[in-house]
Amino acid sequence: MPTPRPLSVIVPVRDGSATLARALTAILASELPRDDYELIVVDDASSDSSAELAARYADTVVRLTMRKSGAAYARNRGAELARGEVLAFVDADAMVRPDTLPRMLQMLSDQPGLDAVSASHEQIAGAPNLVSQYWNLLLHFGEQMQAGTTGNVASPCAVIRRQVFLSAGMYDEWRFETARLEGIEFAHRLEDSGRNVFSSTELTITGLKHWNVRSLCSEVWDRSALLARSLGYQRTRTAVPSDVVFTLSRALAPAFAVLCFVAFSAAFLPAPNAAVKGALVVLGTIALNFPAYRFFAKMRGIPFAIVVAPLHLLMQAINGLGLCAGWVLRDAVGDREPDAATQAYAEVGVEIWPPVPRASGR
């Protein structure tokens, strides 16, 4: 049999050629002997040259065809091939520091009772544009505010003992094709079975993805709706308060703004003019979002905080709407499920490649 290695690094990628090379180069620059780990890249039906690019660096490249199946599905395929005693999942748009993976391995080695360790985001984003910088800083803000509590064994970087990963049933492939919430659901299962997950704010990665307003709106909507629909708001808020959904929804600033505007218009006769109402609403939202704005100003200066304030408000509004949509769908339609053909194939147990997506832990 081939020689097992201590670590298998698994990188799922879909149309990630813009960031993949930097992510893989960073992994190869880790302070680990090259023979101590294998690098597996799983290409989730990319339409770009991600697979060919991955081949420049990886030990194994898995090409999933037919249809895009999501990061959870891709990670599971990588884990099935992995020979390492510990699995590391690193996003294709995440750049690990040279000491991130070695320190994570060391933590697992030093603490036999610890089963998984996840890293957090650095405050600086790899992409220089304003939206990317804002989003990375927001993720960093949530993780710093709720340090040590993140139950997310996936994004952007996490390690887990292989045996624990397999015995827990791996990631749920049915419900998480788009939003990156499979790690939270998996951490729920781990904790339910008495496993220990630790999130470190000292172990960090740099987010490389280039975000624009549209892609960010889509990300926030998907995360919020799926979280409310499939994971449950209250339970997830208790387990993973550092998630960006809760960072955005904690202040309820957009709802406050709308209520204030209506109240000012209806409660006072004669109604105050628009400028007064606007000023009051702005002051109220600033007050509610003060911790976040103060953090932005402290990290990047007051001009940055002022510039991203409207963007932050927009994300909060989309987040609130997404949560509402998720709740409605959960009550009206039920939890998210794949199409009937996939369910039928899974039930019958048809053996094909790529495998039929599987549900786990329900």
Partner 1 sequence: MDFSQGIAVVPVNAEISPAADRPSQAQAFADAMGMEKPEERRTTGPGYDRAKERGLPRRTPRVSLIVVLPENHVVSPDRLAEGLRAHGNQDVDVVVACAGQPTNLGALQRSVRDAQFLLAPAGTSTEDLRELAMRQVPGDIVTLLSGALLPAAGADTSLLMTS
Stretch that binds partner 1, among 58-66, 148-156, 214-222, 274-282 (CB under 8 A): 58-66
* Block residue for tokens 């003019």: 273
Binding residues for partner 1, total number by CB under 8 A: 24
Side-chain-facing half-sphere of 70: CA atoms under 13 Å = 23
Q: Does 56 bind partner 1 (CB under 8 A)?
A: yes
Stretch that binds partner 1, among 46-54, 207-215, 225-233, 237-245 (CB under 8 A): 46-54
DSSP 24-93: HHHHHTSSS-GGGEEEEEEEES-SSSHHHHHHTT-SEEEEE-SS---HHHHHHHHHHH---SEEEEE-TT
Contact 362, 267 (CB under 8 A): no
CB of 303 to partner 1, least distance (A): 42
* Block residue for tokens 């690990």: 96
Stretch that binds partner 1, among 112-120, 130-138, 298-306, 350-358 (CB under 8 A): 350-358
Stretch that binds partner 1, among 54-62, 202-210, 219-227, 326-334 (CB under 8 A): 54-62
Q: Does 48 bind partner 1 (CB under 8 A)?
A: no
Q: End-to-end alpha-carbon separation of the chain, Å?
A: 35
Q: Does 339 bind partner 1 (CB under 8 A)?
A: no
Q: Does 57 bind partner 1 (CB under 8 A)?
A: yes
Stretch that binds partner 1, among 59-67, 118-126, 229-237, 331-339 (CB under 8 A): 59-67
Q: Which amino acid is at 122?
A: E
Tell me how far apart the alpha carbons of residues 270 and 252 are, in angstroms, rounded to a whole number. Answer: 28
- 57 or 264, CB closer to partner 1? 57
Q: Which amino acid is at 334?
A: G
Q: Does 59 bind partner 1 (CB under 8 A)?
A: yes
CB of 163 to partner 1, least distance (A): 20
Map the footprint of partner 1 across residues 63-92, applying CB under 8 A.
Answer: 63-66, 81
Q: Does 351 bind partner 1 (CB under 8 A)?
A: yes
Residue length of the chain: 362
Among 185, 47, 196, 30, which residue's Cα sits nearest to residue 108? Answer: 196
- 34 or 298, CB closer to partner 1? 34
**Beta 60-64 vs 116-121: how paired, if at all?**
unpaired
Interface contacts to partner 1, rule CB under 8 A? 1-3, 51-66, 81, 351-354
